[in-house]
Amino acid sequence: MSTMTLTRAESARLAEPALRFTDLLAAEWIKLRSLRSTYWVLALASLVAIGVNLNAVHSDLTYIDHPPRPIPGLPPFRYDALYHSLSDIACYLMAIAAGSLGAITVFGEYTTGMIRTTFAAVPDRRGVIAAKVLLIGGITALAGAVVSAASFFGGNAMLASRHVGLSITQGVSLRAVIAYAAIVPVCALVGMALGALLRHATASIVSLVLLFFILPLMFGGDRYRWLYEIGAHLPMQTVNRLTYNPDSNSTISKWAPSVLDSWITMGVWAVASVAVTMVVVRRRDV
């Protein structure tokens, strides 16, 4: 019997291949691909977001052709091609879709118990989370880039005929397009962190909506600066600041953070979310 045991132990050791992170990435890809509902959410949201943006610009063409009469005391009508081609509505839609996808991939493992099977197969929890973060971050970044680019170039191509379209090199166009894309993976990472913290479907999604959409409303206004500062550093406010077109008639608060400040805020949300996910998933019993 002891000889047999030895042979078994040896064969197992010999069969162990070199460690590769790509194996974990590929496994997570199989998991994501085999749950239709999850990636459909992102694909559908992306198509709708592009549709919303293109349709918004298209319906604006009439207003551009028939501009309103100038109101005395106010500057003359000027069409903000940046604001209208990269709309808030489409941005919010992508935020909630990416945030939900991120949350689902984490709480889905906990609520089904799959997490135990996953960690029994791969005890290296850090590797599993890193693979999830990279995959979800990558896919949502791709979706964000496609939506942002299609919306900007599609919308401004239509506007070119009315001579109000922007090129990517004009003004803050490039920065706006990048920020409009970048917020999507950031939302996905925040969703993953909430999913890891709460490990509960409804709680994760509700807290996501609170953080993205309700809290900014509570921390607005121009009365208390500290309240405003909190609001300005919430995830969705960064993209508002970074897509703001200074060559337009719209104004921003006197306390509005700098562009660099907003980029850093966005980065901090991403990094902090990954750190939270990593720490809670590694520490906790499953």
Partner 1 sequence: MIEIERLTKRYGATTAVDQLTFTVKPGTVTGFLGPNGAGKSTTLRMILGLNTPTSGTVTVDGVPFAGRPRGLRHVGALLDASDVHGGRSARAHLSALARSNRIPLGRVDEVLTEVGLGKAAGRRIGGYSLGMKQRLGIAGALLGDPPVLLFDEPLNGLDPEGVLWVRGLFRRLAAEGRTVFVSSHMMTEMEHTADRLVVIGRGRLIADESLAEFSARHAESSVAVRAPELPKLADALRAEGAEVTVVEPQSGVVTGMTAERIGELAVRHGVVVHELAARTSSLESAFMSLTADSVEYLAGETR
Question: Which residue ranges make up the site for partner 1 (CB under 8 A)?
Answer: 1, 4-5, 7-9, 12, 15-17, 19-20, 23-24, 26-28, 30-31, 33-37, 108-109, 112-124, 127-128, 285-286
Longest dimension (CA), the chain: 99
Q: How far is the CB of 88 from partner 1 (least distance, A)?
A: 33
Question: CA–CA distance from 99 to each of 55, 189, 194 (Å)?
Answer: 25, 7, 9
**Closer Cβ to partner 1, 13 or 254, answer by number:** 13
**Closer Cβ to partner 1, 16 or 65, answer by number:** 16
**Closer Cβ to partner 1, 99 or 108, answer by number:** 108
Tokens representing residue 212 in the block: 């993205």
Q: How far is the CB of 276 from partner 1 (least distance, A)?
A: 19
Q: How far is the CB of 139 from partner 1 (least distance, A)?
A: 16
**Closer Cβ to partner 1, 111 or 253, answer by number:** 111
**Closer Cβ to partner 1, 122 or 227, answer by number:** 122
Q: How far is the CB of 14 from partner 1 (least distance, A)?
A: 10
Tokens representing residue 113 in the block: 């118990």
Q: How far is the CB of 260 from partner 1 (least distance, A)?
A: 39
